[in-house]
Structure 1
Amino acid sequence: MVAELSGRTGHGARGGHRGRTRWWRAAGAVAAGALPCLAFPAPALWWLAYVALVPWMLLLRTAPTGRRAAWEGWLGGAGFIVAVHHWLLPSLHVFLIPVAALLGLLWIPWALLVRELLGGAPAPGRAAAALVLVPAGWLLSELVRSWQGLGGPWGLLGASQWQVPAALRLASVGGVWLVSLLVVAVNCAVVLAVAAPGARRVAVAAVAGGAVLTGAVWLWLPRPAPAGGLRVAVVQPGPMEGADSADQRFAAQERLTADLEGTRPDLVVWGESSVGADLAARPDLSRRLAELAARVGAPLLVNVDARRSDRPGIYKSSVLVGPQGPTGDRYDKMRLVPFGEYVPARSVLGWATSVGKAAGEDRMRGAGPVIMNLPDGVRIGPLVCFETAFPDMSRHLAGEGAGVLVAQSSTSTFQHSWAPAQHASLAALRAAETGRPVVHATLTGVSAVFGPSGERIGGALPTSASTAAVYEVPLARGTTPFVRFGNWPGAASVAALALYCAVRGARAVRVAGSAPEPSAPPARTARG
């Protein structure tokens, strides 16, 4: 009796210990998944990205079962989404949690790869495979969630390297995707060096090879060839409050633009939603804009956020206005912000409008990208706000001949968060990827301009500043490998993962086929 009770007591103690361990591991997975957010602006600890995944990967490689690894991968992915998008909480409130839980599922395959390839004491061959397949698995999660229906490519790990010249050079070869692969590969090498002594040589060789490759790209890849310059004025009116904020904003932008007289800009750019009425229905506003264009001697690129008079629905549109009025060049925003500008499956998720600040009415989508021509022959490719997160959009515009990419944005809803700095940093990557300068003009900051290699031009306009600034924007000619070949790192990653799955599947079939047949059970003797 005593022995039986002692056994039960020991079993209960072990069960309690296992339960506590599971909860500590789960909490650790959430915290470890959130850690990489510090590499992004505003903290901008870019160097942290190269080791930020190590705690999470060390946890996953010691998961006792595949189910546990999947669970901790899911929790870590959800933690990453919440941390990188935490500034959405005032708008989405608790709705951010189910969104993070949904997107966190995308890290389950990566977590299983980490456990399988980095667990135990990997031999050199398995370690080498891990350095290829673990980054590919991470990139797969980025590729899937970059689909607009799942929120779009915000918080890609490679985007944390927006101010690192070597990383920007790599982005010109394979986009932000290649930078993400490099960052995850370095994390993987650190895990091998720390937790698998037998694979340290492979890890060191991988890091050295990556450094040599980056150096070769730096030396071999030609820089964008200079092709003149463009004087661009950015008008940032600053925060406006009250029922008549649209009128106040227009008046402030009008005053700031008029102050540019004598500065000889070639183009004046206003931010997103800088005009709150359809110009066709408000000839008075068109006339005032035309007068401004004549006064400063340059066309104005404004952004109209209004219900159109010539077709149903509300559009966000980049409109070029010259001294004679609107020139006819118009771009309607194509990729809208989920919940911010439309509610996906509104019939099912429409209740989100009562929980947060979701769009009460869906905005309409544009039909396609547009290239606009300035009087001096320079061609510009407009993007509106969220669209700067999509590498394929800027790549298409550069491929179609845009000499300057112009992004009109507004993050005023998230004014005192990390969002403005994160958004502005994306322009550096789009510039490096395309070899074209990017002008990022906002209503309330951060406004910034980046040259063809992703380098910052002049000073950024901070949040809350109400001012106009003129930038000497260097133009460039030539085509980057990323514009020419597109997202080849993504295609290569998918191919590597597919090959790995095929090899594993074939091996499993071969093992099952060679297994001995189970022996027949002994005959039972009937008893009378």
Structure 2
Amino acid sequence: MKHRRWIERVICAACGIFCALCFDVAGLAPFVWAALAPVFFLLLKNSGERRRVVFCACIFALAFTLAYYAQILSLDISARAGEASAALLVAAWIGLAALHGAVFAAALSAGVLLKCPCGMRALLCAVLFTGAEWLLGVGALGLPFLRLGLTQWRFLPLTQSAQMFGVLFISFLIVLVNVLIAQAVLGTGRGRMRYLAAAALVFFANLAGGILVSGGRAEEADTGIAAVQMNVPFWQNEGEGRFEKALALAEKEAGKRPDFILLPENSVYGSFNEEPEISSPVAKLAKESGAYVLTGVYGVHGYQLRNSVFLTAPDGKITDVYHKQRLVPFFENGYERKFSFTDGKERGIFETDCGMVGVMICFESLFPDIASETAAGGAELLVVATNDSWFKSDVPLARHLAQSVFRAQETGRWLVQVGNTGMTAIVSPTGEIAASLEAGTDGVLVGNVAFRREKTGYLILGDWWLAAAAAAAVLGLAAAYKKRI
């Protein structure tokens, strides 16, 4: 008996690690549609033993979250916060990972232990797991990283339903299919075939719909973009020389007359409005190229330290600025005094002759509500200015781009992500990477985008579908309770 329980624990831990790897290893990502099935099989099989279920759920969830957040170790925290604070910050992130694991464990346990009709079990588990994903993205410490739907960002036919329901819906479908597979293995006769048929129907219906959407007529993109990736990592001499290199790269493209030149987050430090030695070169670049220049700036504006993007018009005048609203927990919101930023109060929407440009800075692109509210507020093109150069690994850079792919799908907008060391890319409204630069290289990404005003289903409905699914699950629970009485 003890031997069998050890095998169960190993299976749960292995599944958790495997699911975490699916975020980063493209060849593994499609298997996430069945990777949770062994865990749900064990949980459902042992549903009569509460402690055993909770223990197995905890093992899976902690293996999942800790394996995923291990990439925080590739962040050179000491370069930013100092040696004394680095250990505390790492401990804080590990603690946060454990907390996230506890939330997922609670969702898994509740999905298996709550009484409900067998036919409603998959719906209940999917609602609770997806609800946990949503919950972990809210509040000041919200970190919407661990969303299973993000694993599918390279497989666009499987993610097109995000245009209607968002990335959480892809997570919902993944969990739903996994539970149905587990129920099929546990079932017998016709019951087994029904569950298998239901799992296949969910998967292939989503796939077929995605293929139809992906095969639609491509629109003409006629607005020129030049996104600068200067590749000056901050863990080397604190990014010294990045502004000069960014300007030099941009000036090489000025003669091609792009409509927009984009410089990443924290391309320069200083008071952009008050220091001509910073703003004048950008004004000169704008005049020579005839382009709107977006510049990421760390600096004091209005007597407050801000993380901002400034818009310089083709005539060289600063016409608008956006101050970052969503600050990174532990790094920008007060833990380190010298990096304690003041948040902005309005969404970043710049008016240009080409159309309305919506701006997000780094961490903000992880939040669907920021992108959707920016698009709903009039933005016809989205820009993500980021500086992920604190990381010594390319894995977090790819994870960041995965978020941008879903923001483009959810809003139905072209999106340009411009990063210091990468990943710099142009993303179409269907999530296709239209053009990109390899991470860890320098250069200027040149391509075309289009300004779009159409509203996707997600812009209209948001995540309210999850509330409807939760209501259906509650009705199932109520029916089961009534039957017991």
- Tell me if TM exceeds 0.5: yes
Task: Specify the SS of the correspondent of 2:253.
Answer: coil
Does 2:244 align with 1:251?
yes
> Which range moved further: 486-495 or 424-433?
486-495
Mapping for residues 341-352 of structure 1, pairs under 5 Å: 341-342=332-333
* Residue 51 of structure 1, CA deviation: 1.2
Mapping for residues 218-237 of structure 1, pairs under 5 Å: 219=212, 226=219, 228-237=221-230
Residue in structure 2 matched with residue 467 of structure 1 by the alignment: 443
Name the CA shift for 1:295/1:455 in 2 (closer, same or farther; >3 Å). Answer: same
- What is the CA–CA distance in structure 2 between the aligned matches of 1:338 and 1:366, rounded to whole Å? 16
Whichever residue aligns with residue 263 of structure 1, its letter is K
- What is the CA–CA distance in structure 2 between the aligned matches of 1:496 and 1:359, rounded to whole Å? 47
Does 2:154 align with 1:188?
no
- What is the CA–CA distance in structure 2 between the aligned matches of 1:338 and 1:21, rounded to whole Å? 41
Residue in structure 2 matched with residue 206 of structure 1 by the alignment: 198
Does 2:295 align with 1:311?
no
* Residue 432 of structure 1, CA deviation: 1.0
Name the CA shift for 1:142/1:359 in 2 (closer, same or farther; >3 Å). Answer: farther
Does 2:63 align with 1:72?
no
Whichever residue aligns with residue 463 of structure 1, its letter is A
Residue in structure 1 matched with residue 84 of structure 2 by the alignment: none
Does 2:128 align with 1:137?
yes
What is the CA deviation profile of residues 155-213 of structure 1, one whole-angstrom value per residue up to 9, with x for unaligned ones?
21111111222223201010111111111112122212223234322223313432235
Residue in structure 2 matched with residue 372 of structure 1 by the alignment: 350
Mapping for residues 347-426 of structure 1, pairs under 5 Å: 361-376=339-354, 378-426=355-403
Q: Would the aligned equivalents of 2:41 and 2:183 in 1 still touch at CA under 8 Å?
A: no
* Residue 153 of structure 1, CA deviation: 0.9
Whichever residue aligns with residue 409 of structure 1, its letter is T
Q: Would the aligned equivalents of 2:272 and 2:299 in 1 still touch at CA under 8 Å?
A: no
What is the CA deviation profile of residues 331-369 of structure 1, one whole-angstrom value per residue up to 9, with x for unaligned ones?
1111111112225xx5xxxxxxxxxxx675422111020
Name the CA shift for 1:326/1:87 in 2 (closer, same or farther; >3 Å). Answer: farther
Residue in structure 2 matched with residue 328 of structure 1 by the alignment: 319
Task: Specify the SS of the correspondent of 2:24.
Answer: coil
1:283 pairs with one of 276, 283, 288: 276
* Residue 469 of structure 1, CA deviation: 1.9
Whichever residue aligns with residue 440 of structure 2, its letter is S
Residue in structure 1 matched with residue 90 of structure 2 by the alignment: 93
Name the CA shift for 1:443/1:42 in 2 (closer, same or farther; >3 Å). Answer: farther
Q: Would the aligned equivalents of 1:232 and 1:470 in 2 still touch at CA under 8 Å?
A: yes
Whichever residue aligns with residue 132 of structure 2, its letter is S
1:340 pairs with one of 325, 331, 334: 331
Residue in structure 1 matched with residue 35 of structure 2 by the alignment: 52
Residue in structure 2 matched with residue 493 of structure 1 by the alignment: 469
What is the CA deviation profile of residues 282-324 of structure 1, one whole-angstrom value per residue up to 9, with x for unaligned ones?
122111110011112201101111233x223x21111101244
Q: Would the aligned equivalents of 1:41 and 1:418 in 2 still touch at CA under 8 Å?
A: yes
Q: Would the aligned equivalents of 1:226 and 1:475 in 2 still touch at CA under 8 Å?
A: no
Aligned-residue CA RMSD in angstroms? 2.7
Q: Would the aligned equivalents of 1:110 and 1:137 in 2 still touch at CA under 8 Å?
A: yes
Q: Would the aligned equivalents of 1:268 and 1:298 in 2 still touch at CA under 8 Å?
A: yes
Does 2:415 align with 1:438?
yes
Residue in structure 2 matched with residue 353 of structure 1 by the alignment: none
- What is the CA–CA distance in structure 2 between the aligned matches of 1:46 and 1:253, rounded to whole Å? 35
Number of residue pairs matched by the alignment: 469
- What is the CA–CA distance in structure 2 between the aligned matches of 1:336 and 1:410, rounded to whole Å? 14
* TM-score scaled by length of structure 1: 0.82
Mapping for residues 98-109 of structure 1, pairs under 5 Å: 98-109=95-106
Task: Specify the SS of the correspondent of 2:166.
Answer: helix
Residue in structure 2 matched with residue 479 of structure 1 by the alignment: 455
Does 2:278 align with 1:301?
no
Q: Would the aligned equivalents of 1:452 and 1:475 in 2 still touch at CA under 8 Å?
A: no
Structure 2 gap ranges (5+):
78-88
Whichever residue aligns with residue 132 of structure 1, its letter is L
Residue in structure 2 matched with residue 523 of structure 1 by the alignment: none
Q: Would the aligned equivalents of 1:224 and 1:435 in 2 still touch at CA under 8 Å?
A: no
Name the CA shift for 1:216/1:463 in 2 (closer, same or farther; >3 Å). Answer: closer
Task: Specify the SS of the correspondent of 1:102.
Answer: helix
What is the CA deviation profile of residues 259-302 of structure 1, one whole-angstrom value per residue up to 9, with x for unaligned ones?
00222211011111112111123122111110011112201101
> Which range moved further: 389-398 or 244-253?
244-253
* Residue 23 of structure 1, CA deviation: 5.2
Name the CA shift for 1:360/1:497 in 2 (closer, same or farther; >3 Å). Answer: farther
Whichever residue aligns with residue 203 of structure 1, its letter is Y
Task: Specify the SS of the correspondent of 2:422.
Answer: coil
Task: Specify the SS of the correspondent of 1:412.
Answer: coil
Does 2:19 align with 1:36?
yes
Task: Specify the SS of the correspondent of 2:266.
Answer: coil
Structure 1 gap ranges (5+):
1-16, 119-124, 347-357, 511-528
Name the CA shift for 1:374/1:247 in 2 (closer, same or farther; >3 Å). Answer: farther
- What is the CA–CA distance in structure 2 between the aligned matches of 1:103 and 1:367, rounded to whole Å? 28
* Residue 422 of structure 1, CA deviation: 0.9
- What is the CA–CA distance in structure 1 between the aligned matches of 2:234 and 2:338, rounded to whole Å? 20
What is the CA deviation profile of residues 47-86 of structure 1, one whole-angstrom value per residue up to 9, with x for unaligned ones?
1211121222223223352222223223322221112221
Whichever residue aligns with residue 93 of structure 1, its letter is V
* Residue 507 of structure 1, CA deviation: 5.0
Q: Would the aligned equivalents of 2:161 and 2:209 in 1 still touch at CA under 8 Å?
A: no
Whichever residue aligns with residue 176 of structure 2, its letter is A
Q: Would the aligned equivalents of 1:415 and 1:463 in 2 still touch at CA under 8 Å?
A: no
* TM-score scaled by length of structure 2: 0.89
- What is the CA–CA distance in structure 2 between the aligned matches of 1:31 and 1:394, rounded to whole Å? 35
Name the CA shift for 1:438/1:284 in 2 (closer, same or farther; >3 Å). Answer: same
Whichever residue aligns with residue 98 of structure 1, its letter is G
> How many percent identity over aligned positions?
28
Residue in structure 1 matched with residue 208 of structure 2 by the alignment: 215
Task: Specify the SS of the correspondent of 2:379.
Answer: coil
Q: Would the aligned equivalents of 1:177 and 1:489 in 2 still touch at CA under 8 Å?
A: no
> Which range moved further: 174-183 or 95-104?
95-104
